[in-house]
Amino acid sequence: MANIKDVAERAGVSVATVSRVLNGHSPVAETRERVLAAVRDLGYRPNNVARALRTARTGALGLIISDLTNPFFTELADAVEDEARSLGYSLVIGNAGESPEQQDDYIRTLLDRRIDGLLVSSAGTGSAMLSEVVASGTPLVLLDRTVPGVDAPCVRADGRTALTELAAHLAAHGRRRPAIIVAPAGTPTGDERLGFFRTALGGYGLTLPDERVGATPDLQHTGGRQVMSAFLDLAEPPDAVLATDNLMALGAMDELRARGLRVPDDVALVVYDDVPWFAHTDPPLTAIAQPTRELGRAAVHTLLARIEGRPAGSVLLPARLVTRRSCGEVPAP
The CATH number of whichever domain residue 41 belongs to comes to 1.10.260.40
Chain-centroid distance of CA 245 in Å reads 11
Task: State whether 286 and 163 are in the same domain.
Answer: yes
Instruction: Give the residue from 134, 130, 57, 120 showing the smallest Cα distance to 92.
Output: 120
Is residue 150 a part of any domain in this protein?
yes
Along the 333 residues of the chain, how does pLDDT read in single tens digits?
A: 677 788 888 888 887 787 777 766 555 777 878 888 888 888 776 655 444 444 457 889 999 999 888 899 999 999 999 999 999 899 999 999 888 899 999 999 998 888 999 999 998 776 778 988 888 889 999 999 998 889 999 999 999 999 999 999 999 999 999 999 998 877 888 899 999 999 999 999 999 999 999 998 887 899 999 999 999 999 999 999 999 999 999 999 999 999 999 999 999 999 999 988 899 999 999 999 999 999 999 999 999 999 999 999 999 999 999 999 999 997 655
Is residue 332 a part of any domain in this protein?
no
Task: State whether 183 and 83 are in the same domain.
Answer: no
Task: State whether 273 and 300 are in the same domain.
Answer: no
User: Which pLDDT value is given to residue 297?
Assistant: 97
Is residue 325 a part of any domain in this protein?
no
Is residue 100 a part of any domain in this protein?
yes
Is residue 333 a part of any domain in this protein?
no
The C-alpha atoms of residue 52 and residue 166 are separated, in whole angstroms, by: 49
User: Which pLDDT value is given to residue 49?
Assistant: 43
Task: State whether 285 and 300 are in the same domain.
Answer: no
User: Which pLDDT value is given to residue 333?
Assistant: 55
Task: State whether 18 and 98 are in the same domain.
Answer: no
Task: State whether 117 and 17 are in the same domain.
Answer: no
Q: Is the Cβ–Cβ distance between 142 and 296 less than 8 Å?
A: no
Task: State whether 210 and 257 are in the same domain.
Answer: yes
Task: State whether 11 and 25 are in the same domain.
Answer: yes
Task: State whether 162 and 280 are in the same domain.
Answer: yes
Chain-centroid distance of CA 134 in Å reads 22
Task: State whether 193 and 283 are in the same domain.
Answer: yes
SS3 61: strand
Is residue 274 a part of any domain in this protein?
yes
Buried (b) or exposed (e) across 286-301, using 16+ Cβ within 10 A? Answer: bbbbbbbeebbbbbbb
Task: State whether 73 and 97 are in the same domain.
Answer: yes
CATH code of 112's domain? 3.40.50.2300
Is residue 170 a part of any domain in this protein?
yes
Number of compact structural domains in the chain: 3
Task: State whether 110 and 138 are in the same domain.
Answer: yes
The C-alpha atoms of residue 148 and residue 41 are separated, in whole angstroms, by: 44
Enclosing domain of residue 120: 58-157+292-318
pLDDT in tens, 221-268: 999 999 999 999 999 999 999 999 999 999 999 999 999 999 999 999
User: Which pLDDT value is given to residue 121?
Assistant: 94
User: Which pLDDT value is given to residue 98?
Assistant: 86
Is residue 76 a part of any domain in this protein?
yes
User: Which pLDDT value is given to residue 292?
Assistant: 96
The C-alpha atoms of residue 268 and residue 175 are separated, in whole angstroms, by: 8
Alpha helices in the chain (DSSP H): 4-11, 15-22, 29-42, 48-55, 71-86, 100-112, 128-136, 160-172, 188-202, 221-232, 246-258, 292-307
User: Which pLDDT value is given to residue 53?
Assistant: 40
